[in-house]
Each structure stands twice: as C-alpha cells, then as structure tokens.
Amino acid sequence: MLFDSNVFNMIDWTVNGVEPCTGMYIRTIPIASLPSCQLQGPTLDLALRFNQFNANDYGFGVGWELTLTRVDVENGASTLILANGQRYRILSVSGNTVNLQYKNTLTFNCTTTGTGQYTIIYKNGFIEELVNYQIRTLTAPNNKKIYFNWYADQSFSIQDENQNRTGKGYMVSSTWQGTKHVVTTPRGSIAYETLIIANTRLRSLASVTTFIGIGLLELYTAKYQSHNEKYLYITDMASTIDSYQHDVIKYKTIMAPPGMPGSIYTVSSVEFNISGTYQKETFIKTIYSLSTANYTGYPQVTTWQNGVDNLESLPDSFSFSTTATTDNKRKILCSYNKFYLLLSEQPMAPEDYPDSNKPGKLVKYEYQLVANSGISSQSSTFMLPVTIKKIRQDYNTTTKQLQQISYDTQYRYDNYSNITRCTNPDGTVDDYTYYPSSGSIQQGIVYCPPDPGGFVNYLNKKTTTPFSNTPNYLRIYTYTYIAIANTNLIQPSEVTFSALARGSARYLSTGPKKNTHIRPTPAVRSMAR
C-alpha cells in the first residue's frame, strides 16, 4: 500500500463506485460464483477488486486484487488481507499465535505453523489455510473443502474436494494466451487482456472479453492514469453487463500531512452514462468534495508517521466530511470520526447546509467508545453502532415551525459481536443470551455442544418485551443444539416458544405451552463485518 492507515480496514470494499470516506474509486469484476462438492461444499465467490493504492500485479494488472485471503510482504512488513478487503499488519508471532495490528474484533483468529503458513478460523465456522502466503484450502463447517493451486506465471486452478481427490477436473482454471489471462469455468472462458501503459512499465487490465456464439463480446474496458510512479487509478470504466454502463472519472490531490509517502488522489467527479446504450450516451455528473479536514488527519496531524494509524491519537472532537452532489439536484453529506466511523448521513438540496431550516431527513450513528483513547483501548465491537437515529424534520402546521422526529434503534453486543439487546423505535425490546463457547451440559443433557472454533456463536434465548402500553406478557424462544457427526456443524435441534406474564414465573394458560416445538432455524444475529 502507498501509505499505512486503519481506514483501509474500516471501509466497505464491496462498494462499486466511489467509496465516500476516502474518495477511492473501487470496482469489482465477478469471475465465478460456483457451488462445490455437488452442492454440499462451500460456494466459491471469486472476483477482482481494484485498489488504487496497491502497486502489486497479481496477474490481472496493477491494483487488481483477487477477492481471496492472502499475506502481502512489502518492504519487510507482512500484511494479512482478508477476502472482504480488511487489512491487518502482522506485528509479531508468539508460538502459533499471530499478533495483528489494530485487530480488536473477535470474529476470527489467525495462527501460523511456519514461514508463509497461516490458518484463519472464522466465527461462522469457515477455515482458510495459507501456504506460501497464498490461500491453499477453504473448508466449510461440514468439512468440505475447496483447493487452490498457484503457479509461477501467476495462473491458477481451483478444485473442489472431489476433483482434488481424483485429480480430474477444475472449478476454475487459468492460463496465459499472449497478453491475455484466460480464466475458464464450467460456464465458459473469459479473457482478461493486460497491456503496458504508455511511458510506464505498469501492466494494466485493459479489457475483459468472452465468446458468445461466433462473436466476441466485450464485457469490460478500462483506462488508467499512473500516479506516484508505480500506482494506477481508473479514469474510464465501461461495462456491457445488464446494460451499457460507462463511468468517466476525474481526480484531484488532497492536502496531507508533511511526510506522507506520496500524493493522495481522490475522485473529484464521475460522469455516469444513464442512457443504457453506447450509441447515444447521456451523462449525469456527480461532484465530490471534502471538508478541510480529511481522512489523512490533515490539518491536525503535523508529521506523518509510517507503520501506524495517524488519527487514533487525535482529540475525540476530530471529524471530517465528504459531499457528493449529483446533477446539481441533490447532495449527500457524510461525516466521520477519527476512527473512520460514519457519524451521519444527510441528503439535501445542493444549496442547503446541515443546519438549514428546511424539511428533510438525517441518519445519525453513535458508538460505544473509550474517551481520549486509541484503537487498542477500544472494545472488540467499537466499530458497531449502538444507536441509529433516523431523524425527520417536518413543518408543524400548528406551531408553524420545523420540528424533529427521531426514530431510534439501540443495540448492545457481547465481545463476539452478537447482538444482546435491540430496542426498537416502537419501544419493544429484544434480548438475546448465548451459550458459552464451551457449550452447555446440565444433568447429563447436552443443550449446546462446544463451539469448534472457540467462539460464542449459538443463541440460547430470545425474549421480546413489549412496549409498556401493550399487553403485559413476554414472548420467549429457547434453543437447543446438536453436533453433526464427523463435521464442525452445530445445528438447532429444538426451538421452544412460551409466553410469560411480566414479573411472574407463571406461564399464561392462554398462550402456547412450554416445550411446544417449532421448526424455524434461528438466525444468530450479528452486525460484525
């Protein structure tokens, strides 16, 4: 990466377009979405994702990353990059445990068995094993696997467990045909044409094509501009997927602290074709602007430091905002705190400001943060909102004044990012309790087996408390689970519904009886990424 910042761990890398916090233009090109092991194994969701601050070429041109977990080693530093785009600097190794910088979340664990060999165990039961810094296997909770093979020319092949065992067939395979990296799946072959950009040594992904019948279909085309010598950003992106889409992107440099390793470019405007055809394009323009303060910490960071997040030591009052104005008809203002967490999102007319005395709406987010402290002092769920306020500002015809009406949803979490309480805008409260990671056995009866990964994962009880003006009883769901032999699967075995008089241990005779079993599988709710 061009520079070090925890912002790359906090943003949503699935955005297809301008990411509002950083102003990066991110694009994702799907490669394959295929089930494995005769529908019994994990689904392979493979895509390319563009990152303008990554100078590496993984076989598809500079900046294009496969959406697979890997470890990048640059300038003597190792960084774990997860499939979802999150990035953690590897600080040290103690025994088999890998110490990841700024990893507060407890939704995954990372261990190592040697140089370039890592195992990532996720809360959802999936396991990834890396060999030579690249993913080798993906294992589902039912122990079905997908195998990844990597070759010296940056081509690759992917097999499910059955194909790997017999040595026959591939889910996905790739090979080079001149400058084209050709990827083949059961649905056909797609060619990713890579070309050297003029006056540089940088290889770029110029086009993506496939054959339909006897004709060549161009799926994507892209144009680029180099920056900071070995990096690229996209200036033109076109696609025929669904309908003809065409973006023309312009950039500007932003102010950054002294000592920043390079110039920081953000999108200044995007012209988007809305006609759906290349024959007669009609563009609308979105203009992007930033507050004086921005995600580099400017102007309060006086000297940039490499290897750390430069905003975490700033005062809690530090914030910055970005604005997107479309076709001079509507703008959206987003504001962020020093941890790059979204504080508010407000659509408005181009001429308006956040405090304009006009009807409108606003969404605010609040977080449970330790005051005047850095990232390491925050909880494992500091990035999850504890309050979401959806505010409407309407004109009161009686008072002839504007009034605000707020619809608040409040959340509480345990250390593993499970929701433990949700207070809804209508006043009803949902409380959730979970079995410990060690499971629960009482009087020889197994209510919940231990979690294979050591996480708190399984819902024990959900209690819904109505608003005080509604009927005075609670609705309670209680869950029990069983382990599936020869797998890491833990599945619900019983769901018990009961109605309980508030403040009483007596079950209502008019309600469903205790131990009435129903079939729906409970969803363990989590807002963790």
Domain spans of the chain, in order of start: 435-509
Sign for the pseudo-dihedral over CA of 116, 122, 127, 128 = negative
The pLDDT-based confidence of 396 (bands split at 50, 70, 90) is confident
**pLDDT for position 515:** 42
Sorted by sequence, the CB contacts under 8 Å of residue 83 that are 6+ apart come out as 67, 68, 69, 128
Q: Is 448 helix (H, G, I), strand (E, B) or coil?
A: strand
Q: Quick check: helix, strand or coil at residue 261?
A: coil
pLDDT over 90 at 283, yes or no: yes
Q: What is the pLDDT of residue 290?
A: 95
Average pLDDT of the chain is 91
Mean pLDDT to the nearest integer, 115-132: 97
Q: Evaluate if residue 529 carries a pLDDT over 50.
A: no
Residue 74, strand partner residues = 77
What is the token pair recorded at 146?
């997908």
- The predicted pLDDT at position 265 comes to 98
**pLDDT confidence band for 280 (50 / 70 / 90):** confident
Give the model's pLDDT for residue 463: 94
- In whole angstroms, how far apart are CA 366 and each of 220, 340, 344, 376? 40, 13, 9, 19
User: Could you tell me which residue, 501 or 274, shows the higher pLDDT?
Assistant: 274
Mean pLDDT within 367-392: 97
Q: For residue 212, is pLDDT > 90?
A: no
What pTM was estimated for this model as a whole? 0.90
Q: Which residue has the tokens 């761990």?
A: 9
pLDDT at 235 over 50: yes
pLDDT attached to residue 526 = 38
Question: Average pLDDT for residues 100-121, to the nearest whole number?
Answer: 96
**DSSP code, position 96:** T
Q: Of how many residues is the chain composed? A: 529
Does the pLDDT value for residue 303 go beyond 90?
yes
The single-letter code of the amino acid at 303 is T
Quick one: pLDDT band at residue 215, thresholds 50, 70, 90?
Answer: confident
Tell me the pLDDT tens digit for each residue of 472-484. Answer: 678 999 999 999 9
Q: State residue 291's pLDDT score.
A: 95
Does pLDDT of 521 surpass 90? no
- How far apart, in whole angstroms, are the C-alpha atoms of residue 418 and residue 524? 7
Q: Tell me what pLDDT residue 232 has.
A: 97
- Sign of the Cα torsion 373, 378, 383, 385 reads negative
Q: Report residue 519's pLDDT band, with 50, 70 and 90 as the boundaries.
A: very low
401-413 and 419-423 beta bridge pairing: antiparallel
Which pLDDT score is estimated for 399?
79
* pLDDT at position 511: 37
pLDDT of residue 504: 57
**245: burial class by Cβ within 10 Å (0-12, 13-18, 19+)?**
middle
Cα distance between residue 29 and residue 27, in whole Å: 7
Separation CA 171–CA 44 (nearest Å): 9
293: confidence class by pLDDT, cuts 50, 70, 90: very high
Predicted confidence at residue 505, as pLDDT, reads 52
Ordered alpha helix ranges (H), 400-469: none
Query: In this structure, what token pair is assigned to residue 337?
Result: 């705190």
Q: In whole angstroms, give the CA distance from residue 517 to residue 514.
A: 9
End-to-end Cα distance, the chain: 22
Q: Mean per-residue pLDDT for 360-376?
A: 95
8 A C-beta contact, residue 467 and residue 428: yes
For 198-220, what is the mean pLDDT? Answer: 90
Question: Is the pLDDT reported for residue 510 higher than 60?
Answer: no
Q: How far apart are CA 394 and CA 396, in angstroms?
A: 6
Other beta carbons within 10 angstroms of residue 509's beta carbon come to 7
Q: What percent of the chain has pLDDT over 70?
A: 94
Tokens, residue 368: 């449970």
Do residues 143 and 37 make contact, with C-beta atoms less than 8 angstroms apart? no
Query: What pLDDT band is residue 63 in, cutting at 50, 70 and 90?
Result: very high
Is the backbone peptide bond immediately before 299 cis, with ω within 30 degrees of 0?
A: yes
Q: How many Cα neighbours within 13 Å face the side chain of 332? A: 12
For residue range 405-458, list pLDDT tens digits in order.
899 999 999 999 999 999 999 999 999 999 999 999 999 999 999 999 999 999
How far CA 62 is from CA of 37, 437, 463, in Å, comes to 33, 43, 51
pLDDT at res. 470: 58
* pLDDT at 514 (0 to 100): 42
Q: Which two tokens stand for residue 159?
A: 């097999």
**Has residue 243 got a pLDDT over 80?**
no
Mean pLDDT of 138-167: 94
pLDDT band of residue 506 (cuts 50, 70, 90) is low
Residue 376 DSSP label: G
- 261 pLDDT exceeds 50? yes
Q: What is the mean pLDDT of residues 90-106?
A: 95
Q: What is the DSSP letter of 410?
A: E
Q: Is 420 exposed, middle or buried (0-12, 13-18, 19+ CB in 10 A)?
A: middle
Q: Which of 157, 134, 153, 124 is nearest to 44 (CA)?
A: 157
pLDDT digits (tens, 9 = 90+) for 334-348: 999 999 999 999 998
